[in-house]
Structure 1
Amino acid sequence: MIPQEYIQEVVRRNDITEVVQQYVQLRHRGRTCTGLCPFHTEKTPSFVVYPETQSFYCFGCGAGGDVITFVRKISNLGYVEAVKQLASRAGMPLPEEEDQETRRRSRLLEINRCAARYFFEQLNAPTPEANAARGYWKQKRGLSDAAIRRFGLGYAPDSFSGLIHYLKRRGFTEPELEDSGLVKRSAKGNLYDIFRHRVMVPIIDVRGNIIAFGGRVLDDSKPKYINSPETLVYKKSRTLFALNVAKKSPSKRYILCEGYMDVISMHEAGFDTAVCACGTALTAEQVKLLSEYADEVVLSYDSDEAGQKATERSLGLFANSPVRVTVLSIPGAKDPDEFIKKYGRDRFDALLNGTANPTEFALAKCRRQFDLKSDDGRLEYIRRALDILADGVSPTARDVYAGRIAEETGVSKTAILNQLNTAMRTAGRKARRREQRALAGEGIAASIRVPYDKGGDAALGAASAGRQLVAAMLKNPDTIPYIRQHIQAEDLILPEMQEACRAIWQCADSGTPVNLTSIGPLVSEGVVPQLSMVLAQNIDLTPSRRDIDMYLERIRQATPKSAQAGKLNDEEFRQLFNSIAKEKTASQEPRQ
């Protein structure tokens, strides 16, 4: 393991604000920095960086931690890899030792490199099978030898053990092969290749590592596609196919396609910024990754119903992205590949330059649903179209589109604009109600989840008190001996705070700094965001000895009854709860 002293020095040399603002546009507000969260889609900034505690927390999705946590999450890295990346950023010599996870990652990447070499060799083998696979790539897909080499395309022969034998001869063990996702174990306990008689496409991350594979049948048999499962090195929701190639292009207009076969064909036609999502649907993480490279994204999905639904969903994900988004309409073809083959590259290039913005796409879809020759059709089209224009469209654009709707329906532009103003007021009221409902679920009390066996308002207060005691120890380690004298970790109701309490005491006993960096490796993955939230909620508060005594008293008052409640049946629990309620009522009555 990497020495804790080294990790602390890495964190000290990597200011969290400087690291985060490489990925997030931050605005300084007093002692904190805020921005749009890189881990979920949002319109209002809820992501906060706290320079004082060198931590971050998102009040929207609950992500939080220190600079190591941030790098791990934003780059999909293991703990040691994140530390090494930050060490490299700070110009620190890398530690000699690697941990088990890093070695596993390295071995998986090496397995994938060897597998890609095997598939490429099989594609070029002097066999009838390989000849058919070459014919698929060259004749059916129209790919050149250069494109086949650039994407590392290959062929998996119709064998249950060809790849297994190839990899075993290179020293890989059976557990490693199973970890790779390239093989499976049968009910009888035998390993077998999952990719058989398929043309193969390596999936490569932005750093140039082969992390997974996709395999397609040469005909129309089912299943048409098989993809690698998620592994230690492959998270499909965070991966964009061909981004490693597209990022080298001087163009900042990226073309987002439906599948990797479309992407490869687009690159062959000269459109070198084509990419696609890995997985069945685009994710917010993929949108964030794409926005780091693109200024504009053209959605180029198939023209069928599924493709149109994918377009709508993707437009929603891009709504809060800084990237300009347009939608490609493909007349006379089901997908870009077919259009290019029928009409040529230049015609497709002209299509790209005439793409529609999201509002035009939504209005066009809406218009197709109604018969504008009938009064009912025109009225319903106007109502639906104005709902579209009332949501986030600029005043200039509203004026232009109102004129267009007036021409389409024969209704005066003045009447359209008057109705649009009404629609905007209605949309504003709905938005405010949504915001109020969201705010009602925020705050410290809303985030406290008390186990069912703890019971009563006293337990809720004790849960909050436990968090405040953890905050006190994090903010001022000098309070640790006093708090430790009066409670045990098991006295805290929330399991996350029990775990955090033990980790804090372990750091104190070993002389390690009491901070998120030290605590992180000692606790479960979900505890660090909880601690980040605790720090965020107490950023302007420093608990005094009197506050600490009050929190300790709350825990002492609640713990015996809570422990008792966990052992009672339903009727006994009801009686106990009623007695607690009576005590509380009596304590609130005025004294005579």
Structure 2
Amino acid sequence: MIPQSFIQELLTRVDIVDVVGRSVKLKKAGANYQGLCPFHNEKTPSFSVSPTKQFYHCFGCGAHGSSINFLMEHFGMGFVEAVHELARDAGLTVPEDNSREGRDAAQKASQQLALSQWMDRAAAYYRLRLKETPAAIQYLKDRGVSGETAKRFGLGYAPAGWRNLEGVLPDYAAEDAERAGLVIAGDEGRRYDRFRERVMFPIRNPRGQIIGFGGRVMGAGEPKYLNSPEGPLFSKGHELYGLYEAREGIRETGRVLVVEGYMDVVMLHQYGCTYAVATLGTATTAVHITKLLRQADRIVFAFDGDSAGRRAAWRALENALPVLSDTKQLDFLFLPPEHDPDSFVREEGLEAFEALVRDALPLSSFLLKELASRGDITTPEGRARMQAELKPLVLQMPDIALRTQILVDMAGRLGLHTEELASYVGLQLARPAAPSGRSGQGRNFGGAGGHARAGNDYGARQAGRSGASRSDGRWGGAAQGAGFQGAGSHGAHGDASGADPYGRGTHAGGNRSGSGHGGWTREGGAGRPDGGRAGAGDGRWGGAVQGA
């Protein structure tokens, strides 16, 4: 039997608006959300979901209940199955009755409830102090924050002084004051406030409960940002700033924007980009990404365009690889070096920022272009390095179509068959059925010509892979083959003009455009780096292969 204490904790950890919203299109209606009832046919919404009560009710057919009831009634799950489904989403393990896990879960739920009340008291105190501190108000005005935005995000101010919370918290000397991250116990038992002389940003969980704070100094001082410590309520590797405030924007747009700072989120929301969230002083984790992918079909990571921003983007990419899906899209946006999202939207406006979001670089393009930038792919050593660095990345990905497409694209860049690259990284791709009548024809994939490699369209590539005899045991003779994605040579791979370091400008070097001889070629003859990768006619690279 599943302990009742665990069920109560589970229902406090999940958000019924998120649970129901995956199946029903909900719209805000006052304090609640409304939609068409999934349990009976109707044209006028009578189905209401309350985020405060964590309860749904249909005024048409009378269906009602909690998140567990919704899964049972809508998906036909049994009670135990529904509990396990919600627990997996919340990252919890379902305990057995009277087990240690059950007792721990009950104790944790009780502790979290108590600590959340402490956080509410602190947040109310910080909001009050902000109203009474002209310097803090002026700082926010100088940053462009309106009073309405400050109220929406519950911004506050922690004044100077060592023990301001002593008259606010139920018991300043209690251990819960430390567990909540509000008080620090110093040497000889001396206790003092963690946050002092900082603008305060409350951090909420998906239900809107305050679980931590971020504090920013207004002038000189280190650290610039100070977060709540890890504890029973708060884990920076699991939580995202602004996720509660962004829920409606994420539902409406189907996407979520991940930025790096509190102020970025606040200002983006103020200007109308209401689907922005931020990591909390740490790299984007797989837990973050999994949580976001349950709410949106597209994640856009926004980073500064400097080297630090690119490193942060690469860490996000690495952490995303194990949870990728063919039905979800992850993109990367790189701002000009002189801007962060806050400054860009204030100077250039929402429309210009949304254009950057729209044109963000797909994960696969960022991955391939970043690897290409690390070495000289005009040399065997450079291509070998690119191949070696790709291997651990591909092996982290699940067995999805995107993984195959990345291998196809990279094979074209390296002058390899996709099967050769897959074998190198330790994967085996499904082969097409062998055609009949192969006598004296080599591999015939349905097109005339030899093996031309220019671009990355797999279908065109296969069409150019046939025809010549295998008199030398390899790909034979001179042939004509179709190029990939347009005709002509592959030229300088990944090079681009324009300011974008990741090649969203106009491709140079004949890459995927124009017409002419070259591209990646096989068999005989000599070649040139600007018209194809080629060597002497040793039966491997080179040869007269003409791109269509």
TM-score range, shorter chain: 0.5 to 0.7
Pair 1:113-2:109 in alignment = no
Structure 2 distance, partners of 1:321, 1:395, is 13
Structure 2 distance, partners of 1:235, 1:111, is 17
Q: Of 246, 257, 268, which residue of structure 1 is paired with 2:259?
A: 257
Listed as ranges, the matches of 1:508-519 within 5 Å are: none
Structure 2 distance, partners of 1:353, 1:10, is 41
Structure 2 distance, partners of 1:263, 1:402, is 39
Q: Is the 8 A contact 1:255 1:297 kept in 2?
A: yes
Instruction: Say if 1:79 and 1:424 are closer, same or farther in 2 by CA, change over 3 A.
Output: closer
Question: Residue in 1 aligned with 2:340?
Answer: 335
Listed as ranges, the matches of 1:66-465 within 5 Å are: 71=86, 74-75=89-90, 100-125=107-132, 130-139=133-142, 141-168=143-170, 174-249=174-249, 250-319=252-321, 320-322=323-325, 323-369=328-374, 376=379, 419-421=415-417, 424-432=419-427
Instruction: State the shift of 1:166 in Å.
Output: 1.8
Of structures 1 and 2, the one scoring higher in RCO (CA 8 A, sep 6+) is 1
Structure 2 distance, partners of 1:205, 1:135, is 29
Structure 1 distance, partners of 2:405, 2:111, is 56
Residue-by-residue CA offset, 1:139-166 (whole Å, 9 max, x unaligned): 1x21111110111011100110111222
Instruction: Say if 1:351 and 1:187 are closer, same or farther in 2 by CA, change over 3 A.
Output: same
Local SS of the residue matching 1:199: strand
User: Which is helix-richer, 1 or 2?
Assistant: 1
Residue-by-residue CA offset, 1:381-436 (whole Å, 9 max, x unaligned): 65566778895757777777888x6xxxxxxxxxx6xx231x64244243259xxx
Q: Is the 8 A contact 1:185 1:191 kept in 2?
A: yes
Q: Is the 8 A contact 2:2 2:94 kept in 1?
A: no
Q: Is the 8 A contact 1:304 1:334 kept in 2?
A: no
Instruction: Say if 1:152 and 1:399 are closer, same or farther in 2 by CA, change over 3 A.
Output: same
Q: Is the 8 A contact 2:259 2:276 kept in 1?
A: yes
Letter aligned with residue 430 of structure 1: V
Question: Residue in 1 aligned with 2:54?
Answer: none
Q: Is the 8 A contact 1:258 1:302 kept in 2?
A: no
Letter aligned with residue 75 of structure 1: A
Residue-by-residue CA offset, 1:96-126 (whole Å, 9 max, x unaligned): xx9554332211001101111111100001x
Instruction: State the shift of 1:357 in Å.
Output: 0.9
Letter aligned with residue 215 of structure 1: G
Q: Is the 8 A contact 2:411 2:421 kept in 1?
A: no
Structure 2 distance, partners of 1:229, 1:8, is 26
Instruction: Say if 1:292 and 1:190 are closer, same or farther in 2 by CA, change over 3 A.
Output: same
Residue-by-residue CA offset, 1:541-591 (whole Å, 9 max, x unaligned): xxxxxxxxxxxxxxxxxxxxxxxxxxxxxxxxxxxxxxxxxxxxxxxxxxx
Equivalent residue pairs, number = 344
Q: Which moved more, 1:272-281 or 1:145-154?
A: 272-281
Local SS of the residue matching 2:331: strand
Q: Is the 8 A contact 1:389 1:398 kept in 2?
A: no
Letter aligned with residue 332 of structure 2: V
* Alpha-carbon RMSD: 4.0
Residue-by-residue CA offset, 1:266-303 (whole Å, 9 max, x unaligned): 21221111112234112211111111101001110222
Local SS of the residue matching 1:325: strand
Instruction: Say if 1:430 and 1:274 are closer, same or farther in 2 by CA, change over 3 A.
Output: same
Local SS of the residue matching 2:361: coil
Q: Is the 8 A contact 2:254 2:298 kept in 1?
A: yes
Q: Which moved more, 1:312-321 or 1:353-362?
A: 312-321
Local SS of the residue matching 2:343: helix
Local SS of the residue matching 2:330: strand
Instruction: Say if 1:432 and 1:265 are closer, same or farther in 2 by CA, change over 3 A.
Output: same
Instruction: State the shift of 1:55 in Å.
Output: 13
Question: Residue in 2 aligned with 1:438?
Answer: none
User: Structure 1 length normalisation: TM-score?
Assistant: 0.51
Structure 2 distance, partners of 1:210, 1:334, is 30
Instruction: Say if 1:398 and 1:73 are closer, same or farther in 2 by CA, change over 3 A.
Output: closer
Structure 2 distance, partners of 1:426, 1:332, is 36
Letter aligned with residue 357 of structure 1: P
Give ranges in structure 1 of 5+ residues lacking alignment: 26-53, 57-65, 84-97, 406-415, 434-592
Local SS of the residue matching 1:240: coil
User: Structure 2 length normalisation: TM-score?
Assistant: 0.55
Q: Is the 8 A contact 2:306 2:337 kept in 1?
A: no
Structure 2 distance, partners of 1:348, 1:278, is 22
Structure 1 distance, partners of 2:254, 2:205, is 19
Q: Is the 8 A contact 2:260 2:280 kept in 1?
A: no
Q: Is the 8 A contact 2:331 2:363 kept in 1?
A: yes
Instruction: Say if 1:208 and 1:7 are closer, same or farther in 2 by CA, change over 3 A.
Output: closer
Q: Is the 8 A contact 1:164 1:183 kept in 2?
A: no
Letter aligned with residue 295 of structure 2: Y
Structure 2 distance, partners of 1:202, 1:220, is 22
Structure 1 distance, partners of 2:284, 2:314, is 11
